[in-house]
Amino acid sequence: MRLESDRPAGARAALTASTLALIAAALLAFPLAASAGFRTHAPAASSASASVSAGQAEQVLRYWTPQRMREARPLDLVVDGSGTASVRVGAPSPAGAAASFVRVPTPEVPPYSVNGRIFIRRGDLQGFCSGTAINTPTRQLVLTAGHCVNSGPEDGHRAVWSNFLEFVPAYTGDVAPFGAFVARGNRVFAPKQWTKHGNPDFDLGAFLTRPNADGVNLADAVGGGATIVTELPRDQQFLTFGYPGETKRMQGCQSPYIGDDTLTYPFSGPPTLAIRCRWAPGASGGGWLIGDGSQINGINSYLHLDDKTRTFGPYFGEETVGKLVRGL
């Protein structure tokens, strides 16, 4: 694959060792949820959230004007001076910060076309993440990071769901080559281990979408969607994607598996794994494709504040992504 250099500024998502240690202590008290109660979903639509109805889907489409898309900020997982983790819009990267990703020259061509930008609203915040169109029987599924669809618990407060979700595959500037796909209200999901406990082993999110303006389902529009594969050896070659920082164009970074995040060993799920790509905020949820690009085996989740070389993501097993997307 040929990639052209394009290195915009953008803040880094982060989980520090002290923060992960604090989370670990809390997580050890909670066993892995049974399959029947594994995932949670966004509440039923209200006047403040996207609905399954065509009328309210139109409201979401009207809301995300080209100007609002341009003004949306990259969603970020950050840690403040007290060591408290929180999800918010990204800030500019420090001067001189370098990135490991480069521009994808043909984002509208498979397999790149399965990747896209997700626009979200959370309270007064207008933000964005990255995501992947998935090959499932519904032809409507998007996979992303859990913190893109749900804040997780913060400062003792209940988790907050994102709303007004809109997925734009192969987004390029103000151009949406396949149209926009609005989330189906309460068909937005994340594992309870993320929404209740903030466990990064389960930082995964998924949602079903309505067809685009031409009536075409997502996976069909982009050329089929990526197939989720689970329980593979960790030692894979990954081609990863996202929309980091201020860039309005798809970026890519190729890397092998380079080890686990040992800080997640005490947690209840399989440890997260690392790649040698330093993704900036906004790339959260971007897919890790393998083989010929038709399969997905990971996503961008977080970085460490003191580590400028690696990005971490959940291991794709049946107890993580398998249970999340079952039946979707």
Structure-model confidence comparison of residues 12 and 241, the more confident one: 241
CA distance to 235, 236, 314, 321, per residue, from 231 (Å): 12, 12, 12, 10
Kindly provide the b/e burial profile for residues 158-179, where b requires at least 16 CB atoms within 10 angstroms of the residue's own CB. Answer: ebebbbbbbbbbbbbeeebbbb
pLDDT in tens, 268-312: 899 999 999 988 889 999 999 999 999 999 999 988 877 778 899
User: Mean pLDDT over residues 177-189, rounded?
Assistant: 94
3-state DSSP call for residue 214?
coil
User: Residue 168: is its pLDDT beyond 90?
Assistant: yes
Contact 44, 109 (CB under 8 A): no
Residue 312 Cα distances to 36, 39, 179, 278, 283, angstroms: 28, 22, 30, 9, 12
> Class assignment of domain 4-325?
mainly beta
In the chain, what are the domain boundaries?
A: 4-325
Q: Would you state the pLDDT for residue 48?
A: 44
Pick 80 or 248 by higher pLDDT: 248
Please check whether residue 325 is in contact with residue 317, taking contact to mean a CB–CB distance below 8 angstroms: no
pLDDT of residue 99: 61
Tell me what pLDDT residue 100 has.
Answer: 78
pTM score, two decimals?
0.85
pLDDT score of 79: 35
In whole angstroms, give the CA distance from residue 197 to residue 190.
Answer: 12
pLDDT higher than 80, residue 247 = yes
The pLDDT confidence band at residue 59, using thresholds 50, 70 and 90, is very high
C-alpha distances in Å from residue 263, one per residue of 18, 71, 202: 9, 35, 14
pLDDT digits (tens, 9 = 90+) for 32-42: 344 447 788 88
Share of the chain above pLDDT 70, in %: 79
Q: Which pLDDT value is given to residue 82?
A: 33
Q: Which residue has the tokens 């089929």?
A: 224
Q: What is the mean pLDDT of the chain?
A: 83
Quickly state the pLDDT bin for 76 (edges 50, 70, 90).
confident
Lowest mean per-residue pLDDT among 144-148, 241-245, 258-262, 301-305? 301-305
Question: Which helix (H) or strand (E) covers residue 299, if one does?
Answer: strand 295-299
Q: What is the predicted pLDDT for the residue at 280? A: 82
The rounded distance, in Å, linking the Cα atoms of 28 and 185 is 32
d(CA 215, CA 222): 13
**Predicted confidence (pLDDT) at residue 260 exceeds the cutoff of 60:** yes
